[in-house]
Amino acid sequence: MAMLELEIWRGGATGRFHTYRIPMRESQTVLDAVSEVQRTEDPTLSYRFACRVGMCGSCAMMVNGRPRWTCRTRVAVSAPNGKLLLAPLRHLPVVKDLVVDMEPFFAKWQRAHGRFEPGAAPAADFAVVPPATPGRRAADAGIECIGCGICYAACDVVGWNPDYLGPAALNRAWTLLNDVRDRAAAERLAAVTAGGGCQACHSHMACTEACPKGIAPTYAIAGLKRQAIRAALRSALGAPP
């Protein structure tokens, strides 16, 4: 039987790659392979997963240098030469082995005002949001994000500028800026144009290329940049925001 060679990161911020060999199986996913290593080779190996069907995003890790959902990544596709290099997601503190601390990632969502703000007074009635309106379409384009951190790990700017909010938080802010029910547009725009905001994006599109949901955070960030520039020009011209 053909064997699969896995080099898996062991340790925390410091550590090293350990090599494991397990049988290569038909339709085997990377998550299957990691689970087999844990069950047959080393029960102390730590990694995360929950749904196993591409819904929760918790199994995200670096597979041969690229951030991927391991449950949706087949070994035959990602390791045609029978070798896998598995590391924890980039740009996040390593808890142990393949498990990272997602706290900085979600803290940036909060910094970007990535939460719905209904305002002080509750709405008197349901908001009518026709699906074809530009705002609804813009929100729809990014609304399916499940916060897996793949885009955050793919983004080089996050690595260069630790203050940068990152694609997911900015994408979330953009969906909310296009939500007619939201009442915190000005605060949110100020939050995403402060230091480390949307203007730090280099439009490399690594996030868009890596997103397993097919979301394009780059376009969301471009939208934020347009709004930020409009707001800056209005402010410079003394016009109301």
Partner 1 sequence: MNAALLAASRISALVLAVAVAVHLVVIIYAVQEGLTAASLLSRTRGNWAFLALYASFVLAAAVHAPIGLRAVLAEWLGWSGRLADRLLIGFGLLLVLLGLRAAFAVFLA
Footprint on residues 93-112 left by partner 1 (CB under 8 A)? none
- Shorter beta-carbon distance to partner 1: residue 55 or 229: 229
Of 195, 207, 193, which is closest to residue 235 (Cα–Cα)?
193
Size of the site for partner 1 (CB under 8 A): 16
For residue 54, the Cα-to-chain-centroid distance in whole angstroms is 14
CA–CA separation, 66 and 64 (whole Å): 6
Tell me which stretch binds partner 1 (CB under 8 A): 21-29, 52-60, 94-102, 194-202.
194-202
Q: Given candidates 29, 171, 193, 208, which one binds partner 1 under the rule CB under 8 A?
A: 193
Please tell me whether residue 160 binds partner 1 under the rule CB under 8 A.
yes
| Burial call 140-167: b when 16+ CB within 10 Å, e when fewer | ebbbebbbbbbbbbbbebbeebeebbbb
Q: Judge whether 151 and 91 are in contact, CB under 8 Å.
A: no
Q: Which amino acid is at 59?
A: C
Shortest Å, Cβ 185 to partner 1: 14
Q: Given candidates 71, 157, 184, 211, which one binds partner 1 under the rule CB under 8 A?
A: 157
- Shorter beta-carbon distance to partner 1: residue 23 or 195: 195
The set of residues, in sequence order, having a beta carbon less than 8 Å from that of 136 and lying 6+ positions away, is 129, 130, 178
Q: What is the CA radius of gyration of the chain?
A: 21
Shortest Å, Cβ 209 to partner 1: 20
Shortest Å, Cβ 112 to partner 1: 15
Shortest Å, Cβ 207 to partner 1: 17
CA–CA separation, 32 and 20 (whole Å): 14
Footprint on residues 209-228 left by partner 1 (CB under 8 A)? 225, 228
Could you tell me the two tokens for 14? 């410091």
Please tell me whether residue 161 binds partner 1 under the rule CB under 8 A.
yes
Please tell me whether residue 68 binds partner 1 under the rule CB under 8 A.
no
